[in-house]
C-alpha cells in the first residue's frame, strides 16, 4: 500500500534468572527519556502487520497490546526505525502520543474528523514508515491529514506475563527467532546451542528477528539470553521442540520480567520529565 509522505517538523523451560545492570557498555539505540515532535499521518487499518513481523506470530493479541488506544499500531519514521547496523531499533516500543490543541482548529491539515487530539493515546511500534522524517509517525488506521504531535516511549503494560517466541523460515542449522510481549524493546539475543557452556550471539534483523547460522544442528528447547535496550538481561528458555514450531511461551520468572528495564537512571529521568501530562505507564513496576 502507498504511504503518505510525512514532512519533517521537529525534530519467559525452566529456571530463569534475571540480572539487572545499571549501565550498559553496548551502544543500544534507546529513545526512553526523550520526547519527540513531528507529524502524524494515516496509512490503512492494520492489526499489527508491518516490518516488525507481528503478523507472523501472536504478537498483536498479547498482553503488551493491552491498554493501547486509538489506532493502537503505528509505523515509526525510517531514521528512528533503524540502528547503525541496519537492524530495527524500536519494534515493540510502546509510546504515548498526543496532538497539539491547534489540530482541532486547523483548516489546512486535513479532515478534522481525524485530527489527533491533545489527549494521550498509547500505541506500539509495529512497522516502519519509509517516507517519514525524524519524529513523525504513521498510524495504522484509515484517516486523513497531517497533524502536529508530540510523543515519547513508555513501557508496555505486560504486567506479570512472560515473553513469547516465534520462528520464521528456520531449520536445524538456521535459527530465525523473534521475542515479543516485552516491556521495552529487545536489543540483543544470545542462544546456548546444545547445552554449550557459552552463549552464541544472534544477529538482529530489520524485520525484528534474531538470526543464528550454526555448523551443527541446534537442539531445542534452548536457553536464550535476552537483553533490553537498557542493557538489562533475562535468561529464558525457548520451550519449542522444533524450529518449525508455532509460537511458544517463555517461562521467565514473573518478578524478573516485571523488573526488566527498571534501572535507576531510567526512573530518575521519568521522575523529572513528565512534560505536563499524566501518563498511564509512566513508572516501572517492582
Residues 85 and 138 in one domain: yes
Residues 35 and 121 in one domain: yes
Tens-place pLDDT, residues 63-103: 898 889 888 999 999 999 999 889 999 999 999 999 999 99
Which residue spans within 194-252 are E strands per DSSP?
A: 200-201, 203-204, 210-213, 222-228, 233-238, 248-249
Residues 39 and 125 in one domain: yes
How many residues are given for the chain?
Answer: 286
**The pLDDT of residue 16 is above 70:** no
Please say which residue of 103, 125, 154 terminates a domain: 154
pLDDT band, very low/low/confident/very high, at 249 (cuts 50, 70, 90): confident
What pLDDT is attached to residue 27?
A: 59
Residues 149 and 177 in one domain: no
Domain of 177, in residue numbers? 164-259
Residues 148 and 124 in one domain: yes
Mean per-residue pLDDT, 171-179:
96
Per-position b or e across 48-87, b if 16+ CB within 10 A of its CB: bbbbbbbebbbbbebebbebbebbbbbbbbbebbbbeeeb
Per the CB < 8 A criterion, the answer to whether 216 and 169 are in contact is no
User: What CATH number is associated with residue 187?
Assistant: 2.60.40.760
- Distances in Å between the alpha carbon of 253 and those of 14, 89, 161? 9, 25, 9
CA torsion angle 237 238 243 248 (round to 10) = 160
- DSSP one-letter code for 135: T
Residues 41 and 107 in one domain: yes
Determine the Cα–Cα distance for residues 256 and 261; give it in Å rounded to an integer: 10
User: What CATH number is associated with residue 95?
Assistant: 2.40.40.10
Among 91, 89, 81, 94, smallest CA distance to 27 is for 89
Residues 132 and 61 in one domain: yes
Please say which residue of 154, 174, 190 terminates a domain: 154
Q: Please report whether residue 272 resides in a domain.
A: no
What pLDDT is attached to residue 2?
A: 37
Residues 133 and 194 in one domain: no
Q: Which of 7-16, 33-42, 134-143 has the lowest average pLDDT?
A: 7-16
Residues 174 and 220 in one domain: yes
Residues 113 and 33 in one domain: yes
Cα angle at 232 between 228 and 238, to 5 degrees?
65
- Distances in Å between the alpha carbon of 144 and those of 148, 222, 283? 13, 46, 33
pLDDT band, very low/low/confident/very high, at 15 (cuts 50, 70, 90): very low
Residues 227 and 144 in one domain: no
Q: Please report whether residue 278 resides in a domain.
A: no
**The pLDDT of residue 25 is above 60:** no
Per the CB < 8 A criterion, the answer to whether 258 and 286 are in contact is yes
Q: Please report whether residue 8 resides in a domain.
A: no
Count up the domains in the chain and report the number: 2
Amino acid at each position: 500500500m502507498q504511504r503518505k509522505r510525512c514532512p519533517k517538523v521537529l525534530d519467559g523451560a525452566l529456571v530463569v534468572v534475571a540480572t539487572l545492570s545499571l549501565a550498559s557498555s553496548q551502544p543500544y539505540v534507546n529513545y526512553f527519556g526523550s520526547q519527540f515532535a513531528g507529524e502524524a499521518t494515516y496509512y490503512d487499518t492494520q492489526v499489527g502487520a508491518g516490518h516488525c513481523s507481528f503478523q507472523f506470530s501472536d504478537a498483536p493479541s498479547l498482553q503488551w497490546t493491552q491498554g493501547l488506544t486509538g489506532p493502537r499500531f503505528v509505523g515509526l519514521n525510517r531514521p528512528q526505525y533503524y540502528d547503525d547496523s541496519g537492524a530495527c531499533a524500536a519494534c515493540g516500543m510502546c509510546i504515548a502520543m498526543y496532538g497539539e490543541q491547534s489540530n482541532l482548529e486547523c483548516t489546512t491539515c486535513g479532515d478534522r474528523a481525524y485530527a489527533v487530539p491533545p489527549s494521550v493515546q498509547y500505541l506500539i511500534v509495529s512497522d516502519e514508515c519509509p517516507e517519514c522524517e525524524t519524529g513523525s509517525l504513521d498510524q495504522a488506521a484509515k484517516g486523513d491529514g497531517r497533524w502536529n504531535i508530540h510523543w515519547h516511549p513508555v513501557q508496555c503494560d505486560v504486567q506479570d506475563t512472560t515473553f513469547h517466541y516465534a520462528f520464521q523460515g528456520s531449520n536445524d542449522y538456521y535459527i530465525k527467532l523473534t521475542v515479543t510481549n516485552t516491556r521495552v524493546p529487545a536489543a540483543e539475543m544470545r542462544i546456548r546451542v546444545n547445552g554449550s557452556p557459552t552463549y552464541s550471539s544472534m544477529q538482529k534483523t530489520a524485520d525484528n528477528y534474531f538470526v543464528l547460522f550454526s555448523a551443527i544442528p541446534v537442539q531445542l528447547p534452548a536457553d536464550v539470553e535476552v537483553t533490553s535496550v537498557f542493557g538489562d538481561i533475562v535468561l529464558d528458555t525457548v520451550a519449542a521442540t522444533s524450529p518449525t514450531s508455532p509460537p511458544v511461551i517463555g517461562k521467565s520468572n514473573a518478578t524478573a520480567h516485571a523488573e526488566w528495564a527498571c534501572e535507576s537512571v531510567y526512573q530518575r529521568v521519568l521522575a523529572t520529565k513528565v512534560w505536563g501530562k499524566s501518563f498511564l505507564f509512566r513508572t516501572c513496576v517492582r
